[in-house]
């Protein structure tokens, strides 16, 4: 579901690279993998700890890298020493032989790269999952060199750019914390105000809770469709119906936009100028190909006009003028100009006009924080587990033909014809026990809601586990998913919940 990255993985396989895949569902990449393991949903930390236990037991760790470039290794090793491989196999459902094989292949590789997607982060233990991947990378010295590293694939195009620009509740551009005085003073001076708030804002789950508590009175949503994408979607709809003012800025009248008091028509990528930042931190130009359609307007112009009506004057005359302000306030972007990114773009950090950009981070073990920090992490089960009433594990994800909530792809006839409706993947033995055949309708229910959809019988999922894509409004699987979230990152546990199934 990340075609450009996937293409590069395919090319690497052709050149002799070995690919190891761990996923509760056998996806298309797994079909080409040298080793595929199917672990149970929500057991990522257990599997990674088991792999690292084998690496340490067999002396495959990079002792020189650890000694020179990391800290807190002893506390980490003490925790890993308590890991029991037999128990790890029971928790994850992965055989001891496969755990050993994963550890051997990764631990012995001269260069090994970790690539992960939302299946790692969308858990109540999402931060633990990411830290565990960092542990594995540092343990084997697979970081700070070409062809190594921990590589998160962002969920949507330009998510990297949005985060870089301060699209998070706790930072300004370039991840400068709002809680730090120097950053506040710098931005306040640039924007001509005496001071700026130092309190951290709300994440999406906290915003919905804030509406319930009548602490959030107005919400402005740009290019997002939480009615389909967010967990416990029925609860999301109630919150959006309750908020005093809901503004949605988008290119189509999405299910979320239909609830809005005011819809502001934005423009697509083809109707705007500016920059995008991709997964590898590459800042590239995007150029307007057509004029905005109908009454739609460029997003920055809408924001600027509303700001002026509020009494805070913005007087930018182009996206480039905004970008120049960004680079003047953001050290990691300081050396990037429109002229320098006319061609293939530049990768930040690029701190000066003479700097060539940074192809990969942490070169020669030089981490931003100084030394790489090991974390001792114990496995914790998901927030919701199966029981007699809700006996099936459900996980969600994407399909190749659609993108996020289908706002754009389902308006493309060719893509919608590829996969035109939602479906539930179920193991043949489970389908037989429920007396249902391929294509039959089934009712799915969790502790939060229920939906109906058609089934696809497949061995891509194991017995007791079902998978459903989340792109489809008329089969909105996120009416079922669990809104419990990671206590640090506040990302909801979209990838694991317990459900029951009933033949329709």
3-state DSSP call for residue 340?
Answer: coil
Q: Do the strands 35-37 and 20-22 form a parallel or antiparallel pair, or are they unpaired?
A: parallel
Helices vs strands, H then E, count in the chain: 18, 18
CB 204 within 8 A of CB 167: no
The pTM for the full model equals: 0.91
Interval 259-280: pLDDT, tens: 999 999 999 989 999 999 998 9
Q: Which domains does the chain have, with CATH numbers?
A: 3-148+367-373 (3.40.228.10), 155-198+266-357 (3.40.50.740), 392-503 (2.40.40.20)
Q: Is the pLDDT of residue 467 over 80?
A: yes
Please report, rounded to a whole number, the percentage of residues in the chain having pLDDT higher than 90. 82
Interval 392-420: pLDDT, tens: 999 998 888 888 888 888 888 998 888 88
3: left (phi over 0), alpha (psi -120 to 50) or beta: alpha
| pLDDT value of position 276 | 92
Q: How far apart are CA 66 and CA 356, in angstroms?
A: 29
Taking every pair of C-alpha atoms in the chain, what is the biggest distance, in angstroms? 69
Residue 298: how many CA atoms within 13 Å on its side-chain side?
Answer: 16
CB 4 within 8 A of CB 284: no
Q: Give the count of beta carbons closer than 10 Å to the beta carbon of residue 43.
A: 22
Backbone angles phi, psi at 249, to 5 degrees: -115, 115
Interval 213-223: pLDDT, tens: 999 999 999 99
Mean pLDDT, rounded, of the chain: 93
| pLDDT value of position 244 | 97
């Amino acid at each position: 579901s990340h075609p450009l990255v996937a293409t590069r993985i395919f090319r690497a396989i052709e050149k002799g690279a070995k690919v190891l895949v761990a996923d509760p569902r056998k996806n298309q990449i797994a079909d080409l993998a040298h080793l595929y393991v199917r672990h149970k949903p929500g057991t990522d930390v257990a599997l990674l700890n088991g792999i690292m236990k084998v690496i340490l037991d067999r002396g495959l760790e990079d002792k020189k890298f650890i000694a020179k470039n990391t800290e807190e290794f002893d506390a980490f090793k003490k925790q890993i020493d308590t890991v029991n491989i037999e128990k790890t196999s029971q928790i994850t459902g992965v055989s001891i032989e496969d755990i050993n094989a994963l550890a051997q292949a990764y631990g012995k590789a001269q260069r090994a790269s970790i690539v992960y997607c939302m299946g790692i982060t969308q858990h109540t233990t999402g931060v633990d999952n990411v830290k565990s991947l960092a542990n594995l990378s540092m343990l084997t010295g697979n970081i700070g060199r070409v062809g190594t590293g921990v590589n998160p694939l962002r969920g949507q195009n330009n998510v990297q750019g949005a985060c870089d620009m301060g699209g998070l509740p706790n930072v300004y551009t370039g991840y400068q914390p709002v809680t730090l005085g120097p950053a506040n003073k710098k931005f306040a001076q640039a924007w001509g105000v005496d001071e700026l708030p130092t309190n951290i804002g709300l994440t999406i789950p906290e915003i919905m809770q804030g509406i319930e508590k009548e602490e959030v009175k107005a919400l402005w949503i740009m290019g997002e469709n939480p009615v389909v994408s967010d967990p416990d979607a029925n609860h999301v709809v109630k919150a959006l119906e309750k908020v005093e003012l809901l503004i949605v800025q988008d290119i189509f009248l999405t299910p979320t936009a239909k609830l809005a008091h005011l819809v502001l028509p934005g423009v697509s990528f083809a109707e705007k100028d500016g920059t995008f930042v991709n997964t590898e931190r590459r800042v590239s130009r995007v150029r307007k190909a057509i004029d905005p359609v109908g009454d739609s307007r460029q997003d920055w112009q809408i924001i600027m006009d509303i700001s002026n009506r509020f009494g805070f004057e913005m007087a930018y005359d182009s996206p480039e003028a905004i970008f120049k302000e960004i680079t003047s306030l953001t050290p990691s972007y300081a050396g990037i100009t429109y002229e320098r990114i006319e061609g293939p773009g530049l990768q930040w950090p690029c701190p000066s006009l003479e700097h060539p950009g940074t192809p990969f981070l942490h070169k020669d073990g030089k981490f931003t924080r100084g030394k790489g920090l090991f974390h001792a992490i114990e496995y914790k089960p998901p927030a919701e587990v199966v029981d007699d009433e809700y006996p099936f594990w459900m996980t969600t994800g994407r399909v190749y033909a659609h993108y996020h909530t289908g706002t754009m792809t389902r308006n493309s006839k060719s893509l919608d014809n590829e996969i035109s409706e939602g479906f539930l993947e179920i193991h043949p033995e489970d389908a037989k026990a429920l007396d249902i055949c391929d294509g039959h309708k089934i009712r799915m229910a969790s502790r939060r809601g229920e939906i109906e959809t058609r089934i696809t019988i497949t061995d891509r999922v194991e017995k007791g586990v079902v998978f459903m894509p989340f792109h489809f409004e008329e089969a909105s699987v996120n009416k079922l998913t669990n809104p419990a979230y990671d206590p640090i990152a506040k990302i909801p546990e979209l990838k694991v919940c317990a459900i029951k199934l009933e033949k329709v």
